[in-house]
Amino acid sequence: MAEEIVDKVRDVVEGQIDFDGQRRAEGVATLLLALSALLAFNIGYLYQDIQKAMYTGLGGTALTFILVVPPWPFYNKNPVKWLPAGTGWQ
């Protein structure tokens, strides 16, 4: 029981994501950064305040950082099945 918990914690801390997870993280980052830039521009234009635009853009960047950088479990749903050591081409 304790070993299962340690294995789960180790998987989270090691930071492994699969190739599909990398593609998903890139798409999420691109989408969120684009949306936050559009929102920041519109807020800055509407209020004629560069400070509000900057804070909106920084908030969107921080949100993107929180969603993309940690190895969340939904980024590792399709792990790669590697061959065991010593098998394959001889």
pLDDT of 34-55, one tens digit each?
A: 999 999 999 999 999 999 999 9
Looking at residue 32, its amino acid is L
Q: What is the mean pLDDT of residues 65-82?
A: 89
- For residue 40, what pLDDT is reported? 98
List C-alpha distances in Å: 56 to 39, 45, 46, 60.
Answer: 7, 12, 13, 6
**Residue labelled with tokens 């590697």:** 82
Confidence band, pLDDT 50/70/90 cuts, at residue 14: confident
pTM of the model: 0.75
